Amino acid sequence: MDLFFAFSLVFGYLAGSISSAILVCKLFGLPDPRTQGSHNAGATNVHRIGGKWAGFLTLLGDFLKTALPMVLVYKLDYGRPASLWVGVMAVIGHCYPIYFSFKGGKGVASLMTVVSLVISSFAILTIGTWLLTAYTFGRSSLASLLTISIIPVFGYHFKPELFIPLCALSAVVLIRHSSNIINLFRGSEPLIVAK
């Protein structure tokens, strides 16, 4: 590992630590998303408490902060595996942001950004799985858990050279969803939009 790539990993984490959800809520005069709704600093919860535009801007911010460090590394000819590891660090930053007391989002939008950029053929699979499950069951966490689960499986079969970083990527997001798994079993997991 050379020095620039090491700095790129740190940069990925620091960029990922920028919480779009918290910043958008401040911009819109909304309460801290970690204190409302699902208490998650993510696009779904911001949409839940602030409406479509707030949710969209959060999603856009999550995409940009994840994509920029990945594209930088890729453009400097470090290849897809290196770009994927930088994406993993950005997702870790999103979930455990250094700027916000390590209390961040669940990492789903960042995860989908990473997978879509590194393996574009997986983009329809991941986004389609999430949208179909969310629309069918109305629960973001269930859609996220299903999407997280299929990524390493497809990576193993179609991109085996990326299997380990894909597992790391899914593991980070899965750990952040541990409380959602409990809530789903209890039947207390909130809907994306409350009825």
The token pair at 89 is 């660090």
Per-residue pLDDT tens listing for the chain (195 residues)? 688 889 999 999 999 999 999 999 999 999 999 998 878 898 888 998 999 999 999 999 999 999 999 999 988 888 888 999 999 999 999 999 999 989 888 888 898 899 889 888 888 888 888 889 888 888 878 888 888 888 898 888 888 999 999 999 999 989 988 887 888 788 777 676 554
- Model-level pTM? 0.86
What ranges do the domains of the chain cover?
Answer: 3-186
